[in-house]
């Protein structure tokens, strides 16, 4: 089980059990968790280990491709980028998060762009979609920067920490990216 993707500054690789402490530290940050749909806060002990095991198993079945975003210089895990694949519809949902200390440095955009390319070229997906909370403009700016187009938005679509949040949706079709 080995899959590495690279960008100018990053290595995207499968999460390893040894990454659990860093995942808990980065994802457990209240600011990261509050604007991410599926990260709890506080981040419970043992949750990172269980999550890594689940996503490694999902990789084996081709259902989820979750990559650790690793800085090439110091080899430190700084976040996550993933594709949740719907084989029936031949499409995927893009998701990502980056540790608070690494915000505003273009890492999410760089990682997302590379994973979208992987999805279209290696997985032969026809469409990749993404969603973000309306109150998280940095997340949907990543979607815009990688060429995703706005889709329908829904108010009060998801419950996060006892509050219904508005979501914005973006999508990208393979034929818009890869010609011929």
Q: How much is the pLDDT for 155?
A: 66
Confidence (pLDDT) at 115:
98
Instruction: Look at residue 20 in the predicted model and tell me its pLDDT.
Output: 97
What pLDDT is attached to residue 130?
96
- What SS3 state is found at 26? helix
From residue 11, give the alpha-carbon distance in Å to each of 90, 94, 115, 123, 179.
26, 18, 11, 19, 27
Interior angle at CA 110, CA 166 and CA 149, nearest 5: 45
Segments making up each domain of the chain, as ranges: 4-177
Q: Which fold has domain 4-177?
A: Aminopeptidase (3.40.630)
- Residue 63 in tokens: 């259902």
The tokens 């505003």 sit on which residue?
104
In the predicted model, residues of the chain with pLDDT beneath 70 are: 1, 153-157, 159-161, 178-180
pTM of this structure: 0.92
pLDDT value of residue 42: 83
16-33 pLDDT, tens digit each: 999 999 999 999 898 998
**Residue-level pLDDT at 180:** 45
- The number of beta carbons lying within 10 Å of the beta carbon of residue 145 is 14
CA dist 57 and 5 (Å) reads: 19
What pLDDT, on the 0 to 100 scale, is given for residue 107? 98
Q: Which residues contact 162 (CB under 8 A, 6 or more apart)?
A: none
């Amino acid at each position: 089980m080995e899959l590495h993707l690279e960008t100018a500054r990053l290595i995207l690789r499968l999460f390893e059990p040894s990454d659990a402490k860093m995942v808990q530290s980065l994802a457990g940050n209240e600011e990261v968790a509050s604007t991410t749909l599926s990260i709890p806060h506080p981040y419970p002990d043992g949750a990172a280990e269980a999550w890594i095991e689940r996503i490694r198993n999902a990789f084996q079945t081709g259902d989820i491709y979750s990559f650790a975003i690793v800085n090439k210089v110091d080899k430190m895990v700084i976040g996550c980028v993933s594709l949740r694949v719907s084989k029936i519809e031949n499409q995927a949902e893009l998701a990502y998060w980056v540790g608070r200390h690494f915000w505003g440095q273009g890492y999410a955009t760089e990682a997302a762009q590379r994973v979208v390319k992987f999805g279209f070229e290696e997985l032969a997906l026809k469409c990749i979609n993404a969603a973000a909370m309306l109150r998280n403009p940095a997340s949907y700016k990543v979607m815009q920067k990688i060429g995703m187009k706005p889709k329908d938005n829904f108010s009060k679509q998801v419950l996060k920490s006892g509050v219904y949040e508005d979501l914005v949706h973006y999508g990208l079709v393979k034929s818009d990216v890869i010609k011929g």
